[in-house]
Structure 1
Amino acid sequence: MTDRVTANLPARDFGATAGFCGRLGFAVVYRDDGWMILRRGALELEFCHHPGLDPAQSRFSACLRVDDPDALLDEWRALGLPSDDAAIPRLTGFFRPGTAPRMFALVDPDGSLLRVIDNGD
């Protein structure tokens, strides 16, 4: 097994989180009352049950580093997620903060920020 790290994010409702992430191409590979693991190829997200979370106040985030962010953004844009800055959930277009690699962002229904970063940039 290769050393790795996976994101640990909060979820108010595992069913709702699994449904939303399923639309993004993630599948549930483990779930119990307090923990859920979702996987899409090499990308893995882990969720802990957090029923009292206020999505508008969430400061949770993770970075997904991918080889083809253009294809992923195109796929996720087809879902019709809002793009305005106040919507939860929402999907942005590409941006580049300072000298950082090119990226786009997705905010999930629980307010967690997923930065999708271009491996080749």
Structure 2
Amino acid sequence: MKKNIVIIDDDEAILRSLKRLLSTNNHVICFSDPLSAIEYAKQNPISLVICDLLMPAVSGFAVLEDIKLLQPNCSRLLITGYAELEASKSALNNNIANMITAKPWDNFELTMLVDILIENSHLKLNQCLENVSS
């Protein structure tokens, strides 16, 4: 069964590249508008959200915080340029993101990271379901 991945980036080339890379085993939905992605998250289950840090309308931190509130079991990957990596560490420390990766990325490493984050998301969801049924 394919998992839902939401990708948010203001750069259309990044969206196309990530969609091409990750669509083989997943259902990938891309948004250049972060607010549309948040609206999507209100209505649809998501296994993983991949979000750029620097966007014109709203920061990736804010987007990931909103999605975390809407879907707490969804894994969150912050993707950013090398220059912002140091500043992005606070997203990990504050549990806004589960992982951070840099642009440009290595395809093999990113696909492995995506698989791990999706598995983590489903483990959290299953644990929540078990706790509810107990």
User: Which TM-score applies when normalising by structure 2?
Assistant: 0.30
Structure-1-length-normalised TM-score: 0.32
Larger RCO of the pair (alpha carbons < 8 Å, separation 6+): 1
